[in-house]
Amino acid sequence: MRKIYVAGVCFLLVLLSAGCKKTERIARSDAKEVLSFAFFAYANGGKLDIDVPGAVSGSAITVSLPAGMTVGYLTATIEVSPLAQISVDGQVPGSGEGDIWELTADFSSPVLLTVKAEDGSTATYTVTVTSEPLSSEKEFLSLKFLKADNPSLIEDVTAQISGNVIAVTLPAGANAQLYAIVEVSDHAAVKYPAGETWDISAKKEISLDVDGAMDPSLSTTPVHVQAQDGTIRLYEIRTSWESGDVRAPESRWAEPHVNRVIFRTGRDDSGTYIFIWPTTATLEYDEQGRVIRIRYYHYMEDPNRGHHRKYALFAYDDYEYSGNTVTVVAHQRLDPIVYQRATFTIGDNGYPAHLIYNYDWNGAEYEATYTYNSAANLVKKETKGAPWDGPGVLTGSSDPTAYQHTYSYEYENGNLIKAVTTGTFNEETTYEYHTDKANYEDWNQGLIRFQVNSHAGSGWEPGMGKHSKNLLKRSRYRSFDYGYTSDVEYQYEFDAAGRVTAVNRYTQVDGQPIDGRPMRIEFSYSK
């Protein structure tokens, strides 16, 4: 029985072995690397403002947190080898998805991180987390005033910094209140004015004449730079202005052109000074020779400080072109306040055919239509509204249609010889010319009107349409409503190229000179 049993057993084993395939054993993975380590802001509940990656080198993991942050309980996001798992002090974290694990621990001291491979083998990493020391850097690196941000500037201005002194030299006419951009040491903050933090990512208006001195030797502005560690360095902005008249801005138009007009002292018909000190208008052009901005500067003084004088911007006009429409937007001072808005529609002859003038500050409106002859001379202008500071300036009427006028113009030999006004006011002006002196070329389609002051005679308008071919010699104005006559004589100065550099206007009212000095207009050219 034992043999049979044995033989039977042996036979059974032979059958079983003959009916089975051979099975291969698969090895378990021994991969146990930390592939990445980071503290993500989203996983740390507001403790971090930014994501902070760690550095893995061999068995060491180092993380440097932003300066000033306290190292403590944080949640780390860890990527390990496939099929591996992590543990700290024998404890496996409760959260993990695939090869990504989250570990919350106290990292104020080094943490031993164990990574266990699928085959049971382990590797130990030491995680060291530190916080950078707070920076003590508080350098003022740059201070700039950009032309694009400051209408009174004709160019960008960059300050020169030496020690604790920030020296700013501004062109004549630049206002004392300007928008500036700054750059300081990393992590530092600018305190201006005192106690107020300046968001240095944006421009900020600063005053460069805090004591109202208008004197460059006294124009100082304190500013503080605070380091990340709280220490402070005091700087002083010292501002000076270029002496002399306002410079014209650089224009993009290559052709020679008028780029500055200066209006000197004169009196109006009441004997009152129109402007005690000069008023300067500068013209900036685009590549096509079109005016894009006119800046107006007054020359002011402070009698309480030795009659120190300097120019300052008081208004500017921006010209915008779109198809056959030109819009002139008048601004007051450096504030972005639109004071007036003139919209011209250009006719087929290239000169204005229609004008709508809006006074944004009170909603009044002035309208004009223009008619020309075949030579492009203006022969008629019809208007509704008051072309001054809105309705009611002269008659007290609040109805802008109360001012309706028709202006008729007569020409002889290419020169305007008579202008007659009928309507609310009735007046006439006649003109005489220097027939041996040619006039300047047309300016910007007749769109320019210099608005220097609201007093009579203080502005100057080249005129709509094609200009008279000769220079004006004298004019006589008669008011039929008020019964007086005003005579103006024009005398000129020229440069070597024969261009007019100055016009002196001598005015008499009813035969009596109103001032011993003429109103003087000076012209400068780009080249």
What is the predicted pLDDT for the residue at 386?
Answer: 65
> What pLDDT is recorded for position 95?
64
Give the pLDDT band (50/70/90) at residue 352.
Answer: confident
pLDDT in tens, 98-143: 789 999 999 999 999 999 999 999 999 999 999 988 999 999 999 9
Residue 7: pLDDT band with limits 50, 70, 90: very low
Q: What is the pTM of this model?
A: 0.72
pLDDT confidence of residue 363: 64
- Which CATH code is given to the segment(s) 140-241? 2.60.40.2340
**DSSP secondary structure string for all residues of 106-174:** ETTS-EEEEEE-TTS-EEEEEEEEEEPPPP----EEEEEE-GGG-TT-SS-EE-EEETTEEEEEEPTB-
Q: Which amino acid, residue 370?
A: Y
What does CATH list as the number for 259-389+399-525?
A: 2.40.160.190
Percent pLDDT > 90 in the chain is: 39
Of the chain, the percentage scoring pLDDT greater than 70 comes to 77
- Domains in the chain: boundaries: 34-131, 140-241, 259-389+399-525
Question: Which residue in the block uniquely carries the two structure tokens 């972005």?
Answer: 336
Q: Are 425 and 484 in contact (CB under 8 A)?
A: no
> N- to C-terminal Cα distance for the chain?
132
In three-state secondary structure terms, 41 is helix
pLDDT at residue 3 greater than cutoff 50: no
pLDDT digits (tens, 9 = 90+) for 277-330: 577 889 899 999 888 998 888 776 554 444 445 677 878 888 899 999 998 888
The pLDDT assigned to 16 comes to 38
Do 506 and 489 contact (CB within 8 A), yes or no?
Answer: yes
Least confident range from 223-237, 321-335, 498-512: namely 321-335
Cα gap 321→236, rounded to integer Å: 43
For residue 300, the model assigns a pLDDT of 64
* Whether the Cβ atoms of residue 231 and residue 213 lie closer than 8 Å to each other: no
Alpha carbon distance 512, 85 (integer Å): 106
pLDDT at 220: 82
Distance CA 385, CA 368 (A): 9
Average pLDDT over residues 479-500: 90
**Residue 395 pLDDT > 50, yes or no?**
no
The DSSP result for 202-263, as a single string, is S-EEEES-TT----TTT-EEEEEEE-TTS-EEEEEEEEEE--SSPPPPPPS--S--EEEEEE
Domains 140-241 and 259-389+399-525 share a fold: no
pLDDT of residue 272: 42
Q: Is the peptide bond before 193 cis (omega within 30 degrees of 0)?
A: yes
The whole-angstrom distance between residue 397's C-alpha and the CA centroid of its chain comes to 40
Residue labelled with tokens 């007569």: 410
Task: Please tell me the CATH code under which domain 34-131 is placed.
Answer: 2.60.40.2340
Mean pLDDT throughout 220-227? 91
For 41-51, what is the mean pLDDT?
90
d(CA 391, CA 397): 6
Q: What is the pLDDT of residue 110?
A: 96
Q: Supply φ then ψ for residue 404, to 5 degrees.
A: -130, 130
Query: Using one digit for the tens of pLDDT, what is the confidence trace for 470-482?
Result: 888 999 999 998 8
56-93 pLDDT per residue, tens: 999 999 999 988 788 999 999 999 999 999 999 888 88
111-125, 269-283, 365-379, 495-509 — which is least confidently predicted? 269-283
Q: Which residue has the higher pLDDT, 54 or 308?
A: 54
Q: What is the pLDDT of residue 268?
A: 44
pLDDT for position 6: 33
- Give the model confidence (pLDDT) of 414-470 as tens digits: 899 999 999 888 999 999 999 998 887 654 445 555 544 332 333 344 455 677 888
